[in-house]
Amino acid sequence: MPKPDRLVGCVTPLEIQDAENYWIRKAQHESFSTEIYQLSNGRSIAANSRLQRFDPFLDEDGILRIGGRLQNSDLPEPTKHPILLPDKHPTTTAIIRRCHLRQLHGGCECTLATLRQRYWILKGRREVKKVIHACPSCKRIESRPFVAKMAPLPSDRTRVTRPFENTGLDIAGPFFTRQGKKVNKNYICLFTCMSTRAVHLEVVSEMTASRLLQALRRFIARRGKPHILQSDNFKSFKQLDKDLSQLVSTEMIDNIARELTSHRIQWNFITERAPWMGGYWERLIRSMKTSLKKVLQNSMLEDEEFRTIISEVEARMNSRPLTYNPDNPNDPEVLTPYHFLTGTHYTDIPEVTKDEDEWVPKIQSTSHLMKNWNLRQRLIAQWWKRWKAEYVTNLNVRQKWYNSGNAPNIGDIVLVGENNVPRRNWKLGKIVQLYPGQDGIVRTVKVQLAGSIVNRPISKLHLIEPANV
């Protein structure tokens, strides 16, 4: 275009209105061509037309409007005779998006009410919801995370094994004790058997690799060497306690890992920011802390007293019932972790009276000892049979996460949720790898953030823009 014919300066409101009318007419001709042809020739629209109930007409600009029944109202003309817009059309979507932004990201009803002052959109509520659902700014505030069906229990939780053959590990603390006038910090290492749910507690004076390895050695000496040791990702401790964030280091984790490898112990980590994957030890940590709060209250014990209390708490936790307490006294006694650890239920220190004779152990022959050992083995086999029938079967029902929602895909843009961080400060990331479980359902993914790549559970991810858009 020659320079003298070019328009310069700001676009006028009239020019903006003419441009909008052009795109509206184009959208109407693409969707309502038959009705516009009939009206422009002075004919009535067909009886089977979806616009018949609106009594439409063409205005002086050739735009299709609603005739309606509000001719005698005192409403403005654009409201009495709004412009008809088709559904599922880019022009309609653009008009809805503009109105949604002008209403400061208002909700469906607010946006729809504002639109109907000038436009009537076919299936308007559905179209408005679709636009709001796709709005990136609204997604950052209102989007819900991915949901995956609760995973099947791993075989380590449901098969017969030696107690503590497959073990979960977690650390709690600090707990304060006194030694004279000096106040000491203590941490508690909780070891729990994945199958029998038995508990072993070890007190450590500080969070260093050497102290944790000493606790592990004491555990192995008393309970046997585990084949698999599973724990929370130590990096997540930084979000729980400032002291732990200063004490836990990558070097310490590497030292422990090398020591475990030398003993042929496999150390597995759960996904970061997914404590429910270690729910079987998190629940026991809660039980331990509850017992300590009730026993200690505000008192500060000496070191030896504290270790004694911890041992007694361990005993009480191992005497908790795994199955239903029977009401009938003739029913078998309730099954507890102690049955698998000691061969019997937990008993307190027996009371001794002055009238009782001193107990002298009987001398037993080899055959008698073998007979007792065989009896013990039959009892243990019976308890494992009850464990399968009464305990494992109760784990079959899902308590939540019954169904999976939309599955994540590689390339999805997601908002990465963080605990104790305002939602507006959450980071955006891109899914670069999927980790499907044994059932084929993806519950963990690798996310690329600005400057780092992390693994996250999908329940911490909020979809902002799918990859297939």
Residue with tokens 């600090």, as numbered in its chain: 174
Residue with tokens 């998006």, as numbered in its chain: 97
Whole-number pLDDT of residue 381: 75
Whole-number pLDDT of residue 8: 67
- Mean pLDDT computed over 433-442: 87
Q: CA 4 to CA 121: how far, in whole Å?
A: 42
Whole-number pLDDT of residue 114: 93
Provide the pLDDT confidence category of residue 30 given band limits of 50, 70 and 90. very high
Neighbouring C-beta atoms of residue 395, cutoff 10 Å: 11
Kindly write down the DSSP assignment for every residue of 114-160, as one continuous string: HHTTTEEETTHHHHHHHHHHT-HHHHHHHPPBP--PPPPPPHHHHS-
Q: CA 149 to CA 400: how far, in whole Å?
A: 8
- Mean pLDDT computed over 72-101: 91
Q: CA 437 to CA 401: how far, in whole Å?
A: 15
Write the pLDDT tens digit of every residue in 256-286.
666 666 667 788 888 878 877 888 888 888 8
Whole-number pLDDT of residue 244: 40
Write the pLDDT tens digit of every residue in 129-145.
999 988 888 888 888 88
- Mean pLDDT computed over 352-377: 65
Its pTM surpasses 0.85: no
Whole-number pLDDT of residue 110: 92
Specify the CATH number of the domain 12-134: 1.10.340.70
Residue with tokens 């709690």, as numbered in its chain: 172
Whole-number pLDDT of residue 45: 85
In the chain, where are the structural domains located? 12-134, 155-318, 413-465
CATH superfamily of 155-318: Ribonuclease H-like superfamily/Ribonuclease H (3.30.420.10)
Q: Looking at the predicted structure, is the pLDDT value of residue 198 above 60?
A: yes
Q: Choose among 21, 29, 18: nearest CA to 89.
A: 29
Write the pLDDT tens digit of every residue in 333-361.
788 888 888 777 665 555 555 565 665 55
**Side-chain-side CA neighbours of residue 390 (13 Å):** 18
**Hey, what's the torsion of the CAs at 24, 27, 28, 32, to 10 degrees?**
-170
C-beta of residue 241 within 8 angstroms of C-beta of residue 179: no
Q: CA 220 to CA 218: how far, in whole Å?
A: 6
Among the residue ranges 63-72, 102-111, 295-304, the one predicted with the least confidence is 295-304
**Average per-residue pLDDT in the chain?**
82
Percent of the chain with pLDDT over 70: 83
Whole-number pLDDT of residue 297: 79
